[in-house]
Amino acid sequence: MRIAHVSDVHIHRRKGLNHYNILYTLFNAFNTRIDLNLLDDLISDLKTLKEKGELDHVLITGDITNTYHSEEFKVFIEKFKQLDDSDWYESKFLSVVPGNHDRGHFGNFSKKFLRRIYPDRFKNKDLHPIVKSFGNNIVLILIDSTGEFPLSNLLLGSLGKIDRRQYKRLLETLRRNKDKFKILALHHHPLIIPYYRRAAQLTVLRKARKYLIDFYSLGVDLILHGHRHYPFNWIHEPTPLSSHKMTVICASSVARATQHYTNIFNAYNVYHIEDNKVTIRQRGYIDGQYKWLE
Ligand SMILES: [Fe+2]
Ligand SMILES: [Fe+2]
């Protein structure tokens, strides 16, 4: 199975005087918006890979909008429907999880996100975890890590947390799929990204230690996330004392990667999963087009 992992699209359409536009003007770090021409190039690149039969799934790990504005959701849906215009809840080709930029500042979970992305299904209740099976052996589990007001709302909502009830359902799902290759997709990072700039430890997913222990003991194979805008991966290699292998991968941002120690901009990952083994390749935007990064 081949999965394109796209993250942190940050479509910005909100105009006027607001804290996003003020911070954007004052600080370089808030310059995270995607250029809409580049977004079109990204969509056509993914489309080409799909048509060539080189892609089985596209996963987007949150921050699809920059300011949870309805226009931003509209642009996202319009663009990504070109890849798959079926119901994304059930789609075997496209999956998306919410990020902190998609949640707004109030409420227990991403109502705005759910209402826009699953308009026919959302009845004021969290739909996560969303479970998708591929063949007999692979299961992809979508998690909303933007839950639990108000603590996760600090630092502009950048502290992630999995809502308690959702977490309970997640553990049941993992137990039910014990024998399968289990992929978890969420927005926030459960591990510190060590190369990331100052205060890296501050915005790690809350309760990450507990979550990681649970995920490891329940046999999660692959955790895919975004949020940090920095390409990074960590592999727990099996040892005689801990025989399970677990891989955690942070995709770069397709809008704008963190510049520290990397020159890779607007990149996304493509994973090839076969016989429980994951191979990572990356596609980056160079000289006006997407290319494989070797
Ligand atoms: Fe982001
Ligand atoms: Fe984020």
- Parallel, antiparallel, or unpaired for β 246-250 and 232-236? antiparallel
What's the pTM? 0.94
Angle 23-37-96 from CA coordinates, rounded to 5°? 75
Nearest ligand, CA of residue 9?
Answer: 1
Whole-number Å distance, alpha carbon 100 to ligand 2 midpoint, is 5
The domain tally of the chain equals: 1
Whole-number Å distance, alpha carbon 258 to ligand 2 midpoint, is 12
Cα(221)–Cα(235) distance, integer angstroms = 10
Domain span at 239? 2-293
Name the nearest CA neighbour of 252 among 2, 55, 10: 10
Cα(281)–Cα(54) distance, integer angstroms = 12
pLDDT per residue, tens digit, the chain (294 aa), is 999 999 999 999 988 878 778 877 777 667 788 989 999 999 999 999 999 999 999 999 999 999 899 999 999 999 999 999 999 999 999 999 999 889 876 655 678 899 999 999 998 888 999 999 999 999 999 999 988 655 555 555 567 889 899 999 999 999 999 999 999 999 999 998 877 766 666 678 888 999 999 999 999 999 999 998 888 999 999 999 999 999 999 999 999 765 555 566 789 999 999 999 999 999 998 888 999 998
Q: Provide the greatest CA pair distance for the chain.
A: 59
**Mean predicted lDDT score pLDDT of the chain:** 89
Whole-number Å distance, alpha carbon 230 to ligand 2 midpoint, is 11
Whole-number Å distance, alpha carbon 199 to ligand 2 midpoint, is 15
CATH number at residue 9: 3.60.21.10
What residues does the ion ligand 1 have nearby, CB within 5 Å?
Answer: 8, 63
Angle 27-29-31 from CA coordinates, rounded to 5°? 85
Whole-number Å distance, alpha carbon 66 to ligand 1 midpoint, is 8
Nearest ligand, CA of residue 100?
Answer: 2
